[in-house]
Amino acid sequence: MSVKLTEEMLRALPDTRGHFGAYGGRFVSETLMDSLMQLETEYLKLRDDAEFQATFDKDLADYVGRPSPLYFAERLTRETGGAQIWLKREDLNHTGAHKVNNTIGQALLASFLGKKRVIAETGAGQHGVATATVCARLGLECHVFMGSEDVKRQSLNVYRMKLLGAEVHAVESGTKTLKDAMNEAMRDWVTNVDDTFYIIGTVAGPHPYPMLVRDFQAVIGRETRRQALAQAGRLPDALVACVGGGSNAIGLFYPFLTDESVAMYGVEAGGLGLSTGQHAAPLSAGRPGVLHGNRTYLMEDENGQIAGTHSVSAGLDYPGVGPEHSWLKDIGRAQYVSVTDDEALAGFRQLTRVEGIMPALESAHAVAYATKLAASMDKGQMVVINVSGRGDKDIHTIAQLDGIEV
């Protein structure tokens, strides 16, 4: 089933309680409700505030380096032998990923709300670094929660955060990964709710987070749309982005939702393969439930306990997904697929070899799927991949798989 979306329908989403159809909402303990409602009220005011938006746009231009280029990957296109492949270069942003678009926006919100203490959760460490960066710039106290497993596999980013003045808290509970980091951030928030702003890194969590993170990331899609028209003289036929929580994907997709001719593919982490259960692909193999403040597709067991996840990429290693993606899946506007660890690694190597661009392992999932997709399309068609981050942080992981000590 696919529904023709209109601007009017999109303006009505999420509804006043934060629902995208059956998904989203605000499932938190009572202590946080007042803060969330205040945040929603203030954000809706600032969204239409010219001064706030001008500051945001200026920071994106002068500090992040936007617009990021839309680049025609000519050799990759030739090697693939199908549709033209174009890359949206979010890896060229300051701090090396799309995450900073959102942290700039939320740190501005924190400043407007007069909050001096910032907390964040992180998986791969990209969101943690992006948060520590904007906190350093604005002189805000910064605490980052990170699963102790991730602290081990992303030690470079841990050190970057410390250099930036953030305090990194290793989380030892549960599976010691991103979901547990988010639990711990929520626990800190409930304890320090008066003076603390929680910068959530993806389009999940309780309302209004999925909405405001989407709005801050939508700059990706707005630029892509403009650049495609200017550089290729047309809209793309397909957009491809990796989906963990889904912020880079929604950022790319959102400004195209009413363009019926543009197909959208969200690529989840297939890990060792969906049939093994060792993956992080709730939209492909999960079912709806409630976690971290919203209703969405989840990986869980038959008793509603959240399942452990596996992905070679720490940034996709999360059992849930943003509620707007759950809605887009159900109405058929976007397709959600998965690629395995091995396919993603092959995508990493291919882009590195033929274009001289090392994508983050997260983004390599999008590369791997997009080349398969492009190969099945006509030469005259156009595919855009969101290269959401750069791969420097993953060099240790890749080297280890190659049996090399670096």
Partner 1 sequence: MSRIQTVLQTLKGQGRKALIPYITAGDPHPDRTVELMHTLVEAGADIIELGVPFSDPMADGPVIQLACERALKHGTSLRQVLEMVKTFRSRDDKTPIVLMGYLNPVEAMGYEVFSDAAKAAGVDGVLTVDLPPEEAEDVAPLFAERGLDPIFLLAPTTTEDRIRAISAHSSGYIYYVSLKGVTGSAQLNVDDVAEKVSRIHALTSVPVGVGFGIRNAETAAAVGRVSDGVIVGSILVDTIAKNQDDIEALKSSLVSLLKPMREALDELAS
Question: Catalytic site residues?
Answer: 99, 121, 388
Nearer to partner 1, 38 or 261 (CB): 38
Interaction between residue 2 and partner 1 (CB under 8 A)? no
CB of 176 to partner 1, least distance (A): 12
Contact 102, 60 (CB under 8 A): no
Q: How far is the CB of 320 from partner 1 (least distance, A)?
A: 10
Shortest Å, Cβ 1 to partner 1: 23
> In terms of CB distance, is 128 or 320 closer to partner 1?
320
- Tell me the three state secondary structure of residue 215: helix
| CA distance from start to end of the chain | 49
Q: Does 204 bind partner 1 (CB under 8 A)?
A: no
For partner 1, the binding residue among 300, 341, 343, 362 (CB under 8 A) is: 300
Distance (Å, rounded) from C-alpha 181 to C-alpha 113? 25
Burial class from Cβ neighbours inside 10 Å (0-12, 13-18, 19+) for residue 316 reads: buried
DSSP 38: H
Nearer to partner 1, 32 or 204 (CB): 32
Q: Which residue has the tokens 């003045």?
A: 165
CB of residue 135 vs partner 1: minimum separation in angstroms? Answer: 22
280 or 398: CB nearest partner 1: 280
| Type and span of the H or E element at 26 | strand 23-27
Our CB check for partner 1 shows the closer of 25 and 359 to be 25
Q: Tell me which stretch binds partner 1 (CB under 8 A): 188-196, 216-224, 361-369, 370-378.
A: 188-196
Task: By CB under 8 A, tell whether 213 contacts partner 1.
Answer: no
Stretch binding partner 1 (CB under 8 A), from 41-49, 98-106, 153-161, 294-302: 294-302
Residue among 2 and 305 whose Cβ is closer to partner 1: 305
Which residues, 249 to 288, sit near partner 1 by CB under 8 A? 288
Which residues within the stretch 313-332 sit at the binding site for partner 1 (CB under 8 A)? none
Phi then psi for residue 13, to 5 deg, are -125, 135
Closest approach, Cβ 202 to partner 1, in A, equals 16
For the bound state, the minimum distance from the C-beta of residue 178 to partner 1, rounded and expressed in Å, comes to: 12
Choosing from 262, 306, 339, 370, the residue that interacts with partner 1 (CB under 8 A) is 306
Interface of this chain with partner 1, residues 7 to 36, rule: CB under 8 A: 17, 25-35
240: CB partners within 8 A, 6+ apart: 265, 267, 366, 369, 370, 373, 383, 384, 385, 386
C-alpha dist (Å) from residue 342 to 265, 348, 364: 19, 10, 10
How far CA 62 is from CA of 212, 252, 272, 276, 281, in Å, comes to: 22, 21, 41, 46, 36
In the region spanning residues 31 to 90, those forming contacts with partner 1, defined by CB under 8 A, are 31-35
Shortest Å distance, C-beta 55 to partner 1 = 29
139-178 footprint of partner 1 as x/- string (CB under 8 A)? ----------------------------------xx----
Sign of the alpha-carbon torsion through 77, 79, 80, 82: positive
> What is each CA distance from 214 to 181, 220, 268, in whole angstroms?
21, 10, 18
Q: Which residues of 80-112 are buried (b: 16+ CB within 10 A; e: fewer)?
A: bebbbbbbbbbbbbbbbbbbbbbbbbbbbbbbb
Shortest Å, Cβ 174 to partner 1: 7
Q: What is the 3-state secondary structure (H, E, C) of 287-349?
A: EEEEECEEEEEECECCCCCECCCCCCCHHHCCCCCCHHHHHHHHCCCCEEEEECHHHHHHHHH
Distance CA(405)–CA(188), nearest Å, equals: 37
Give the CA angle between residues 79, 370, 178 to the nearest 5°: 130
Please tell me whether residue 115 binds partner 1 under the rule CB under 8 A. no
| Cβ nearer to partner 1, comparing 302 with 405 | 302
- Residue nearer to partner 1 on the CB measure, 223 or 300: 300
Query: Which stretches of the chain bind partner 1, using CB under 8 A?
Result: 17, 25-35, 173-174, 179-180, 183, 186-187, 190-194, 288-293, 295, 298, 300, 302-306
